């Protein structure tokens, strides 16, 4: 990591980046936001905008069950439970027993209630309250390794299944007639989102993770003319929002996650104006 820090000092001689924790935070954002930007495009196309919200809430339940079962790593508990929760949501959604938004709402409310029930025993929830807002400045070099692996694996899977997932989102019947295993593709996608959300939750927070996943993709959709532009706009907006939010949070001494989301919201507002004027 020392070589990486030295390189950052050379090419980014900014006053905030003289601190190691700011370097780690910037690296985390550069690794995390492109992945969330890509996955967000599919979440918007699949009309699953609140899916990450349900997964974010399930992080509390995952930690709680990990404590009950004696799992020492909160991250492992969140990842395992998040993946299981995502697959359950996907499978129930595929049965057609209820609409997508109903299924996601049921799982979201259930997971946060179960998590609070377990973690609040004996008044112990206070030490987990940081999960609600996150703290990107707490990133460690080991966390960066996890994020690098997630980015490489996530981009590889996204590229491999992009056409199938896009076709399934546009017309599931047509996709099945072309031999696309739509149910399997959708389940792989939700598992990928679950992993990304659980890795990001400690730094972005339960309350903000959904916004960070959806806002750049929603803004990109307003500006793009095709699916490739949608992905590029989404990743670009996520990256710029992440870097600008981190530097602004340092200057203003406030929450980095909240600043990042507000920049993404500003981009969304500008994209609406741009779409309106382009329509005229």
* Burial class of 157 by CB neighbour count within 10 A (0 to 12, 13 to 18, 19+): middle
Name which of 147, 117, 128 is nearest 206 in CA terms: 128
Q: What is the structure's pLDDT at 109? A: 86
The pLDDT of residue 124: 66
Q: Give me the pLDDT at residue 229, please.
A: 92
Residue 118 has a pLDDT of 83
Q: In the prediction, which pLDDT does 240 show?
A: 95
| pLDDT at residue 263, rounded to an integer | 95
- What is the structure's pLDDT at 235? 94
Q: What is the pLDDT of residue 253?
A: 86
- Per-residue pLDDT tens digits for 7-39: 788 888 888 888 888 899 999 999 999 999 999
Q: What is the pLDDT of residue 43?
A: 84
Cα(50)–Cα(108) distance, rounded to whole angstroms? Answer: 9
pTM metric for this prediction: 0.86
As given in the structure block, the two tokens for residue 213 are 């996943």
Low-confidence ranges of the chain (pLDDT < 50): none
Q: Longest C-alpha distance within the chain, in Å?
A: 60
């Amino acid at each position: 990591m020392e070589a990486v820090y030295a390189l950052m000092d050379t090419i980014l001689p900014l006053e905030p980046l003289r601190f190691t924790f700011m370097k780690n935070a910037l690296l985390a954002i550069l690794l995390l936001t492109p992945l969330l930007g890509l996955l967000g495009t599919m979440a918007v196309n699949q009309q699953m905008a609140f899916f990450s919200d349900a997964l974010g809430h399930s992080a509390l339940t995952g930690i709680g069950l990990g404590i009950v079962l004696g799992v020492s790593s909160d991250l492992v508990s969140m990842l395992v439970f998040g993946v299981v929760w995502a697959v359950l949501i996907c499978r129930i959604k595929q049965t057609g027993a209820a609409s997508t938004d109903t299924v996601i709402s049921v799982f979201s409310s259930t997971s946060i209630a179960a998590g609070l029930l377990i973690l609040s025993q004996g008044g112990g929830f206070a030490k987990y309250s940081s999960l609600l807002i996150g703290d990107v400045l707490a990133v460690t070099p080991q966390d960066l390794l996890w994020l690098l692996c997630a980015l490489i694996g996530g981009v590889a899977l996204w590229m491999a299944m992009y056409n199938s997932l896009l076709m399934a989102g546009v017309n599931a019947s047509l996709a099945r007639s072309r031999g696309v295993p739509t149910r399997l593709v959708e389940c792989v996608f939700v598992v990928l989102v679950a992993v990304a959300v659980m890795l990001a939750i400690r730094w972005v927070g339960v309350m903000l993770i959904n916004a960070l996943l959806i806002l750049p993709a929603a803004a990109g959709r307003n500006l793009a003319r095709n699916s490739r532009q949608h992905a590029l706009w989404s990743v670009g907006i996520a990256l710029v929002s992440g870097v600008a939010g981190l530097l602004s949070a340092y200057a203003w001494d406030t929450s980095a996650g909240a600043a990042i989301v507000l920049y993404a919201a500003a981009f969304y507002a500008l994209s609406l104006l741009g779409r309106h004027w382009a329509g005229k």
